[in-house]
Amino acid sequence: MTPPPSSTPADPPAHRLSQYFLRGLITLLPLAITVYVLYLLVSWAEHTAMQLLRPFTGEFYLPGLGIALGALLILALGFLVSQPITGRLLSLIELPFTNLPLVKSIYSSLKNFADYFAPHEQDAQQVVVLNVPGGEMGIIGLVTRQNMKGLPGQLGERDQVAVYLPMGYMIGGYTVFVPRSWTTPVDMSVEEAMRLALVAFMSSKKGEPGKTDS
């Protein structure tokens, strides 16, 4: 007599509960952390604005005034640093941060990273796939220089582009100089590319990065 086909045993209830718990935690944790950070920022802005305005307004205070005041201050700062004279003054203020050995490394890295997201020409911020001729492997990268002009020595004479290759979980990266023909533009924003590179383009559902299985 032919034995009946074996069936895959169902997951134990405890295992299914642990899966549900982990999926719920993964869904809740990013939302909770984001809301908490926003709450801290709003609370700090409101408290600071209240302390600054109370000598002038007394007990009068409108909720949300701290956020509006912070936005105005950031807007004013952006306008000031766009002026040539203020730019030179800012360079003087940056001197302690750009000369102290340990502080210089941290500050310069953070500033250069932030400057990449500052307004530039449209083609200066380009996500590309880097393919070496004759190879099938492609590497996602960010074009950081469209040409080598301004770089010292023979490096500035190269007819190439600079491409930054971020490593997973932001533990570092490499900048390579390659011919433009090696790069293929990708219809993706810099922010999205950096976000996906942060998690090494990991996907929990095929074709849908960042989503969980149903």
Give per-residue pLDDT as tens, 89-134.
777 777 777 777 777 777 777 776 666 556 555 455 688 998 888 8
Tell me what pLDDT residue 57 has: 72
Q: What percentage of the chain has pLDDT greater than the value 90?
A: 0
Structural domain containing residue 157: 120-198
pLDDT at 136 over 50: yes
DSSP state of 125: S
Which range (102-111, 136-145, 179-188) has the least confidence?
Answer: 102-111
Model confidence band, residue 20 (pLDDT cutoffs 50, 70, 90): confident
pLDDT-based confidence at residue 212 (cuts at 50, 70, 90)? very low
Burial 179-199 (b: 16+ CB within 10 A, else e): eeebbeeeeeeeeebbebbee
Same domain, 104 and 132: no
Residue-level pLDDT at 5: 53
pLDDT at 180 over 60: yes
Within a domain: 38: yes
- What is the pLDDT averaged over residues 71-93? 76
Q: What's the structural domain count of the chain?
A: 2
CATH number of the domain residue 168 falls in: 2.30.30
Q: What is the mean pLDDT of the chain?
A: 76
Q: What is the dihedral of CA 162, 163, 165, 170, to 10 degrees?
A: 70
The verdict on 110 and 192 lying in the same domain is no
Based on the fold, state whether residues 104 and 21 are members of the same structural domain.
yes
- Residue 117, pLDDT score: 58
Residue at 204 is within a domain: no
Cα dihedral: 189, 193, 194, 200 (round 10): 170
Give the pLDDT score at 167: 78
150 in the Ramachandran plot: left (φ > 0), alpha (ψ -120 to 50) or beta?
left
Confidence label for 188 from pLDDT (cuts 50, 70 and 90)? confident
The reply to whether the predicted model has a pTM over 0.85 is no
Q: Does a structural domain hold residue 90?
A: yes
Q: How far apart are CA 127 and CA 125, in angstroms?
A: 7
Do residues 104 and 25 both lie within one domain?
yes
Of 51 and 171, the one with more pLDDT: 51
Q: Does position 12 have pLDDT exceeding 80, yes or no? A: no
Whether 188 and 129 map to the same domain: the answer is yes
Q: How far is CA 203 from CA 13, 61, 77, 210, 211, in A?
A: 26, 47, 39, 6, 7
What's the rounded mean pLDDT across residues 35-41?
88
